[in-house]
Amino acid sequence: MNHVHESARIGSETTIGMGSIIEAGVTIGDRCAIGHHTVIMSGAHIGDGCEIGSHVVIHAGSRIGSAVRIDEHTSVGKQPMRAPNSAVTRERELPPAVIGDRCLIGANAVIYTGCTLGEKVLVADLASVREDVSVGAFTIVGRGVAIENHCTVGAYCKLETNVYITAYSTLEDRVFVAPGTLTSNDNFMGRTEERFKHFKGVTIRRGGRLGVGAVILPGRTIEKDGVVAAGALLTHDVEAGQIEAGHPARPFRDVPEDQLLDNQGWD
């Protein structure tokens, strides 16, 4: 048996699984399928044609577009936790999570409140996307990826398995980040009050690419079409169209002409 509040509005041909709870003020569109033991909290909105798996939690006020699929045990609109000594998380009112049309969110993913996903974003199993994050349309956030707070990720990006994007980072459109890549934002490694003035993530301009297991130190910028090779340790900025390789990374050669983003025929 499920529990649907009398003020909830459920569209036609929508099904709700056993043991699910639909709280006050929830709106669910037509032709949706809600799994078993799922909780949709007060004021949440779900568009038409969505598939919401079992044991999903959609937190209060969250906005889910149309034709969205959310797999089992995923949380949308989760409130952040703040440790007493956190340098970047503040206690404040955050806007609801917004999930664009036709997004696909895997199992055991966590999408925080204050996060916005554009149209057709894929967030794979076990990924987490923090508050104050926007992810552009058609971007892929791979399995186990973590995008920390205060980040902007553009459209048509690909963040592959177990990538870590540190807080205060910017990735422009068509950025590619290979598996296991790590970024950082604190050159002081948690020591001295001075560090609070200098937090800065990484900036990857349009078409930048990072190879498997690359490590990018705080505040570095990879310019358009710049490449950091697999296993490289980047301690300085990368010029446009330049490949950097090594440990620490040094200029290696120019990106081949046929690999430049403007030569791919993409819109």
Q: In this predicted model, what pLDDT tens digit does every residue of 231-261 receive, in sequence order? A: 999 999 999 999 999 999 999 999 999 999 9
User: 100: which residues sit within 8 A by CB, 6+ positions away?
Assistant: 65, 68, 116, 117, 118, 119, 120, 121, 137
Note whether 95 and 77 are within 8 A (CB). Answer: no
Structure tokens at 232: 């490289």
Note whether 118 and 111 are within 8 A (CB). Answer: no
Q: pLDDT tens digit string along 10-37?
A: 999 999 999 999 999 999 999 999 999 9
Higher pLDDT, 267 or 30: 30
pLDDT of residue 88: 57
Q: pLDDT tens digit string along 88-141?
A: 556 678 999 999 999 999 999 999 999 999 999 999 999 999 999 999 999 999
The residues spanned by each domain of the chain are 220-267
Distances (CA, A) of 239 to 92, 131, 210, 228, 257: 38, 31, 14, 11, 15
Residues in the chain: 267
pLDDT of residue 86: 59
Q: pLDDT tens digit string along 176-189?
A: 999 999 999 987 77
Q: Is the pLDDT of residue 198 over 90?
A: no
Task: Place 193 in a pLDDT band, splitting at 50, 70 and 90.
Answer: confident
Percentage of residues in the chain having pLDDT higher than 90: 88
Name the residue among 112, 170, 179 with its Cα closest to residue 136. Answer: 170
pLDDT of residue 186: 87
Note whether 228 and 234 are within 8 A (CB). Answer: yes
Name the residue among 52, 51, 61, 56 with its Cα closest to residue 73. Answer: 56
pLDDT of residue 83: 66
Written as one letter, the residue type at 239 is: E
Written as one letter, the residue type at 98 is: V
Considering the entire predicted model, what is its pTM?
A: 0.93
Distances (CA, A) of 91 to 130, 146, 222: 14, 21, 32
State in Å, rounded, how far the first CA of the chain is from the last one. 49
What mean pLDDT is reported for the chain? 94
